[in-house]
């Protein structure tokens, strides 16, 4: 709004009207370029956001599977394995998720995953027959758990290339700037048009930002799959 008022004071409406056709042609070209970059960026971040959802669901499913596979084991080992799976899920929900929103991770969850692997490996070594089959399936589930965990942490640390953000912001700013020069008789209508355009571009950029940081905002991917698994295990 300040930009519109400033331009209207310095450039007469008649002068702006005489240049409207040329400005429209330039704006259309810039808008086309902006649309192409927005579409490409949206494809990238939507793919990333969907992958993040799948990763969290798979990791939570691995935790539940390890817990379930421990059911037929001797009581001491069953309590140990199931206790570690519950602790891991709770640590991810209570500590690691808030840390990921700040761009960090926690070492405690890593330690619990490593302890869980070591406990299952120890049980596999001293078991035989049908019991060893359960331990083998548990080891496979731990492999999947660690793979999904690594994928989640990588997704939390990666983002769109800087040059894409530069292109989006610069083009969006130029397009809004050109709208200051459009010749309109009514200042109120001019202000409304420019504010609507700027709001739309800001909303597009904000949406791309949120989708590009699936674990970094309250609107992103949440720990609900882990919370559901925790509820099931504790029940």
For 49-61, the pLDDT digits (tens) are: 999 999 999 999 9
Joined together, the tokens standing for residue 26 give 């330039």
Q: How far apart are CA 189 and CA 4, in angstroms?
A: 11
Mean pLDDT of the chain: 84
Q: Where are the alpha helices (DSSP H) in 158-235?
A: 162-179, 187-212, 224-234
3-state secondary structure 127-171: CCHHHHHHHHHHHHHHHHHHHHHHHHHHHHHCCCCHHHHHHHHHH
Mean pLDDT calculated for residue range 86-101: 90
Find the range with the poorest average confidence among 7-21, 41-55, 162-176, 216-230.
7-21
Instruction: Classify each residue of 139-178 as buried b or exposed e, where b means 16 or more C-beta atoms within 10 Å of its C-beta.
Output: bebbebbbebbebbbebbeebbeeebbebbeebbeebbeb
pLDDT on residue 41? 94
For 105-143, the pLDDT digits (tens) are: 778 888 998 999 898 888 877 777 667 777 888 889 999
Q: Which percentage of the chain shows pLDDT scores above 90? A: 39
pLDDT at 17 over 90: no
pLDDT at 18 over 60: no
Considering 69-83, 84-98, 171-185, the range whose residues carry the highest mean pLDDT is 84-98
């Amino acid at each position: 709004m300040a930009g519109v008022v400033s331009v209207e004071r310095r450039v007469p409406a008649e002068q702006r009207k005489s240049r409207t056709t040329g400005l429209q042609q330039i704006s259309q070209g810039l808008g086309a370029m902006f649309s192409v970059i927005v579409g490409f960026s949206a494809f990238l971040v939507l793919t990333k956001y969907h992958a993040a959802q799948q990763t969290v669901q798979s990791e939570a499913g691995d935790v539940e599977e390890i817990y379930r596979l421990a059911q037929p084991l001797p009581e001491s080992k069953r309590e140990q394995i199931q206790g570690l799976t519950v602790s891991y899920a709770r640590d991810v929900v209570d500590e690691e998720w808030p840390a990921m929103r700040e761009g960090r991770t926690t070492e405690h969850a890593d330690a619990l995953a490593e302890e869980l692997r070591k406990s299952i490996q120890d049980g596999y070594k001293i078991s035989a027959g049908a019991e060893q089959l359960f331990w083998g399936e548990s080891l496979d589930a731990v492999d999947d758990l660690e793979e999904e965990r690594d994928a989640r942490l990588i997704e939390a640390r990666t983002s769109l290339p800087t040059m894409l953000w530069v292109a989006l912001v610069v083009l969006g700013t130029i397009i809004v700037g050109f709208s200051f020069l459009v010749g309109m008789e009514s200042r109120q209508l001019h202000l409304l048009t420019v504010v609507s355009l700027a709001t739309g571009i800001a909303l597009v950029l904000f949406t791309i930002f949120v989708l590009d940081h699936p674990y970094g905002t309250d609107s992103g991917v949440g720990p609900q799959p882990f919370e559901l698994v925790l509820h099931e295990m504790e029940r």
